[in-house]
Amino acid sequence: MGFLQDKRILVTGVASHRSIAWGCAAAMRREGAEIALTYQNDKLKGRVEELADQLDSDIVLPLDVSTDWQIAHLFGTLAEHWDGLDAIVHSIAYAPKQELAGDYGEVLTRDGFTAAHEISSYSFGAMAKASKPLMAGRNGALLTMTFIGSVRAVPNYNVMGLAKASLEANVRYLAASLGPEGTRVNAISSGPIHTLAASGISHFRSMLKQVERHTPMRRAVTAEEVGNAAAFLCSDLASGITGDVLYVDTGFHILGMG
Q: Which residues are catalytic?
A: 157, 164
**What's the closest the beta carbon of residue 204 comes to ligand 0WE, in angstroms?**
6
Q: What is the spatial distance between Cα 169 and Cα 258, in angstroms, rounded to a whole number?
A: 30
Of residues 181 and 224, the one with the C-beta less far from ligand 0WE: 224
Cα angle: 178, vertex 149, 22; to 5 degrees: 65
Q: How far is the CB of 67 from ligand 0WE (least distance, A)?
A: 18
Closest distance of CB 199 from ligand 0WE, Å: 8
C-alpha of 155 from chain center = 22
The Cα–Cα gap between 145 and 158 comes to 17
Minimum Å gap between C-beta 25 and ligand 0WE is 18
Instruction: Tell me whether residue 153 or residue 257 sits nearer to ligand 0WE (CB atom).
Output: 153
Nearest to 197 by CA among 104, 93, 114: 93
Instruction: Give every CB contact of residue 37 below 8 A, 6+ residues apart in sequence.
Output: 10, 11, 12, 14, 25, 48, 51, 52, 55, 57, 59, 60, 61
Q: Please count the CA atoms within 13 angstroms of the CA of 114 that sit on its side-chain side.
A: 4
Q: How many residues does the chain have?
A: 258
Query: Which is closer to ligand 0WE, CB of 34 or CB of 168?
Result: 168
Site residues for ligand 0WE per CB under 6 A: 93-95, 97, 100, 147, 154, 156-157, 160, 192, 197-198, 200-201, 207
Give 9 or 116: the residue with its C-beta nearer to ligand 0WE: 116
Q: Of all residues in this chain, which one has the CB nearest to ligand 0WE in the complex?
A: 200
